[in-house]
Chains A and B, each alone.
Chain A
């Protein structure tokens, strides 16, 4: 018989990257929150690569920070190296990536959670949900503890019926030999959820002191101090490098010779793996004529000799992994500390979720992270944040928060999941965002901090600083647009020295800044401001002026999108009653149950005629209501 272990507003099941954001955000908006995890020592654990960020993903981390989440702050405190990527390209695709000290990352996150008001962190393996009147009312653990709550967020990552596969060996396990969660998976099936089997994998780890670094290339961090969080003021200057090497022809020969022992090709692995994170055996088979593949050697932390071998994800047998490692320049005599492995797990078909990440089947139940078919710490954290916010808001009887595709990469991610579903572990790519010019690394705060403040995630002090920054940007934009630069000798000289052509006439400062050869600092030199302009302000001013034309075009598209997003579809709409919908469209609409016409139009199988018919039908309903 379960015993009553307490009552909360929100319960979060799991304390991985989705779970910690969910727990923290629910607590931060004022909901009394419980986080349950199978093993307290594994909070915010990185079972795969010790890194955070990268293209698209790094922008998600910025968005999490702009909304008051933790990932950015935590990696700022615990990284061993940080780099800005794509600096040679446009502002829209710049992104930060950090190598984490994976142990410090965990410790720091656990401490933050322990210090958080409103938040209890407790060890426990959840086996069942408490369901009353079809609604989720709490959870029951393996030890018989019954916790009651208004809402529950499940963030079980790859633990649901997890199975590790290593060569011919296969056993029931969560990641890194953790205890898997089996009963919860069965329970979700009982409740009628559609589950699918996905697969992911991780490479071997090796001992740093057995690597011959002289045969590799050094990959240092940036000299400039960097941070994910808008609030970070202390920067880590003591960075550790990563190292680059390559597979060899011998590596490929070893893999070819041992393919029959690979569970990927023997049929042992049934789950769908991600294309963007293929195993080395997959890469060798699919791109057979490629003579070599890149291998990055990434330290797992400052207080360990373990090194993560990026690029060598594999489920080949242990002895083959050793041979493969030895065939790589620099790793000839390497000591393998852990073998790589593949893991298969259950995930929930994400079209069963509303855009709030609440399940349609069981009200008050939310799912976030890898359980929703995604891959990556950042994708998990972004969902965890939103599920925690929405579970908290619902528990507090407040209006939920849905980010649109034009607000954030997190909006793109969740919309893709709940509208289109996914047939492989989903990774964010910049090309998934149609408004990527608007969803930049630099403007995450301008896009989201207001929203974070409205729901209580952003505190007064931070918000007033944000407003100051915003005002400073506006006034500097205003100044540059109103000030004229005359073609004096000094001006012409500067322009020519930068490789531009001389002015024929006076020009607005903002127009001069639009010239490719001109930077904000040049304009500042010609027409200095009365007071010092902070670098984050001048960065915004420069980007907004330089790319005004493109930004304007994107904004016009967003305007149109908003119109369609404002055409809401009532939850109780009866699609069978709408004559004229094509059969496939009707079926998809009934499954996805979109909240707006914009979302409906993105469902594959719903064509523009169906969207038109839906619009007319909705309008008809509106007229009917008015005339009643």
Chain B
């Protein structure tokens, strides 16, 4: 099991996108620096000139203590708050280490928070939203090297590390290019680009009378629309779902195979995740559990409790459609029964999905054809349990977390990886567009408002790995008939 791989993905994913060169060196970078999942505590590390200032923006210590004023190499209890809402995000311990006696020789702040993806990512996003940049592949090591912390013999290794991680991240990124989020982002960017081109035409071709002058009023309307789209994106983006709500998980199986017991033991064994996300009042009842750091959102738990089979209840086609949106399916079989047509049907409708097969009721005499199950399961994990006797639950949890952290859970995993970046970038884009709107309010000249509007466009471009400036000029000449 590669516990570390997920962490790498988070860190390395950022790198291919962006970065306009001027941002590259010695700004403040951040990443989750502990392997994800297992630990009770996770660490988010910040390094760079602004590390303390950024930490102070989100940290509220007892008696209003400022981290920029504490002694080096000390640890401090406190809360992280979101400066925008003033709400407490996490309870944390923060270690302050001033350069040069640190790994990178820069100021380093380590935020220790509760382990588990949800908390640690909340913390990561908070620091990203407050001025830090997600580290590139091998960037902490690169800085350590560039700042003279690592000797010459290691330089080659640093370069190899950057290359290797980059290639891996590139594959992940390419995977993300498809999909709904990127489509949304592209549409929004195109809309912004048209406005930008409009302003540029006004500037570069002031006598061109075919296009109305971009007024503060029109600009405000466009900016407001972009802003509401960004807010919507942040709220409802499919990709954002997992971060906030966990991997959507469905338990399926014929009646009376032990779905309800499985649900109960997952819920029982694991502390339910507290969530304030709207959506829990939907028809489909959901429960949140944290399995070894992997947040699971168990769907349709009402249905399961009624010990009814999903297929039976809503039909094959619809259940397949419902299941398609799930990140993980737990398919439960009964060891003490022979495989039925319904069982085989379940394998059929979950074809190509991420499935863990659970053979339950191992305490009873076996009638099931294990070889046939293996055949049907193809390469997917099979776990045997006796939920009644509390046997095999550990193995099941192990299977879930290894599937997740080893990257086998492609869709969920990768979507998840991209989330921290996406959400941070979308929030930054929101800030930029809000700045633009404030500037419009204040009557700032359009070409200056354009700066924040352009920034919004660039930030969204970083999400989909596209920040080429030339496209503005292309847009200019395709949208307007210009020339002498």
Contacts and interface: CB of A to CB of B under 8 A. Distances in A.
Nearest to A429: B204
Contacts of B159: 578-580, 613, 616-617
Contacts of A617: 155, 159
Interface size class of B (residues with CB under 8 A): 35 or more
Contact of A579 (B156, B203, B446): B156
A553 B136 CA distance: 24
Interface stretch (A133-141, A204-212, A483-491, A556-564): A556-564
A624 B155 CA distance: 11
A90 interface: yes
B178 interface: no
Contacts of B476: 429, 431
B389 interface: no
A290 B442 contact: no
A86 B484 contact: no
Interface stretch (A111-119, A263-271, A352-360, A601-609): A601-609
Contacts of A430: 200, 203-204
Interface stretch (A272-280, A445-453, A467-475): A272-280
A175 B206 CA distance: 29
Nearest to B451: A550
B263 to A, nearest CB: 45
Interface string B427-446: 00000000000000011111
B281 to A, nearest CB: 44
B482 A276 contact: yes
Given A598-B21, A608-B16, A615-B146, A89 B162 contact: no
B271 to A, nearest CB: 40
Contacts, number: 167
Contacts of A609: 15-16, 136-137, 162-163, 166
Given A55-B206, A579-B156, A89 B145 contact: no
Contacts of B203: 55, 86, 89, 93, 430-431
Nearest to B141: A616
Interface in A251-298: 274-278, 283, 286-287, 290, 293-294, 296
Interface string A585-622: 00000000000011001101001110111011101100
Contact of B472 (A275, A286, A431, A563): A431
Contacts of A92: 447-448
A493 B23 CA distance: 47
A99 to B, nearest CB: 13
B24 interface: yes
A239 to B, nearest CB: 17
Given A92-B447, A609-B166, A624-B152, A313 B483 contact: yes
Interface in A48-83: 49, 55-56
Taking each of A93, A516, A607, A611, which has the highest tally of chain B beta carbons within 10 Å of its own beta carbon? A93
B448 A613 contact: no
B136 A608 contact: yes
B156 A283 contact: no
A623 B202 CA distance: 51
A236 interface: no
A354 B57 CA distance: 45
A277 B448 contact: no
Nearest to A620: B155
B204 A563 contact: no
Interface stretch (B28-36, B113-121, B207-215, B227-235): B207-215
B380 interface: no
Given A431-B476, A609-B136, A611-B21, A580 B204 contact: no
A65 to B, nearest CB: 21
Interface in B124-177: 136-139, 142, 145-146, 148, 151-152, 155-156, 158-160, 162-163, 166
24 contacts: A49-B484, A55-B204, A55-B206, A91-B445, A92-B448, A93-B447, A276-B477, A429-B200, A429-B473, A431-B469, A432-B469, A516-B443, A516-B444, A557-B22, A561-B22, A564-B22, A609-B136, A609-B163, A615-B146, A616-B158, A619-B146, A619-B155, A623-B152, A624-B152
Across the A-B interface, give the 4 residue pairs with the lowest CB-CB distance, nearest first: A90-B445, A601-B21, A560-B22, A580-B163
